[in-house]
Amino acid sequence: MVVIAAVGDLHIRAGTGPRLRPVFEGAAAAADVLLLAGDLTNDGEITQADAVCEVFGSLDLPIVAVLGNHDYDAGEQGRITGMLTGVGITVLEGSAVTIRASGTTIGIAGAKGFAGGFTGRSAEIFGEDEMKAFARHGQQTARTLAQAVNSLDTELTIALTHYAPVPGTLAGESLELFPFLGSHHLAAAIDSSTSRVTLAVHGHAHYGCELGTTPGGTPVRNVARPVISVPYALYRLPADSGADVVRLG
């Protein structure tokens, strides 16, 4: 049995590391891997990234993360990535990693993703240069996720993003915000895998809901901290594609 812990949108501030560290030390006993779905910092400041490192550095389990839009806000995303990597956290951006746990290979493909909206109500590469750039960036980030997903050959596969791949997990958010919370191109990237993705995990939608599904049938979980209402959600992954992802806590 493989169990993952997952959370996003912690928005950690400077000086909070010592208080939060004990909360996550229990993840090592409860799960095989911890996934961080972006917005680890509140404003992308280096002092906040220091606190993230204090919380998660050298925990006794593999930790895999993507950054979120808040982590980009101060323009320090490259430095933040280096800091997290330096304390043992794998940060993905259009890339993938394979972990072996409980006798099983777990492939994790990750990218921050981007906005753009969903089928029938999405941005297209048309019109002003600014709109073209917006739509093009969303499609490009999805392509990098597709490449990462398709690079894996593992028994279980997880897609990790910050932005939402489906509108289903946005229920509760204002409809006007949907185009800025995710993109259907991410779901297409997930469903492009030649071997079915076991689970897709994202954050970003604080007022959304937890459960969703891609058009291709991949289970999607919104693990934004305000949504899951616990320090991290625990999910048991199915041993075969016909079983369900089960939330344990």
Mean of per-residue pLDDT scores for the chain: 96
What does the pLDDT look like over 70-114, one tens digit per residue?
999 999 999 999 999 999 999 999 999 999 998 999 999 999 999
CB-based contacts of 180, cutoff 8 Å, min separation 6: 115
Report DSSP letters for the chain, one per residue: -EEEEEEB---B-TT-HHHHHHHHHTHHHH-SEEEEES--BSS--HHHHHHHHHHHTT-SS-EEEE--GGGGTTS-HHHHHHHHHHTTEEE-SSEEEEEEETTEEEEEEEE-----EETTEE--S-SSHHHHHHHHHHHHHHHHHHHHHHT---SEEEEEESSBSSSGGGBTB-GGGHHHHBBHHHHHHHHT-SS--SEEEE---TTS-SEEE-TT--EEEE-BHHHH-SSSEEEEEPSSTTSPPEE--
What does the pLDDT look like over 151-176, one tens digit per residue?
999 999 999 999 999 999 999 999 99
CB-based contacts of 218, cutoff 8 Å, min separation 6: 159, 187, 190, 191, 196, 197, 198, 199, 200
- Give the model's confidence band at 195: pLDDT under 50 very low, under 70 low, under 90 confident, else very high: confident
What mean pLDDT comes out for the span 9-20?
A: 96
What mean pLDDT comes out for the span 166-187?
A: 97
pLDDT, position 240: 67
pLDDT, position 242: 60
Q: For residue 15, how many other CB atoms are within 10 A of its CB?
A: 12
Give the pTM. 0.97
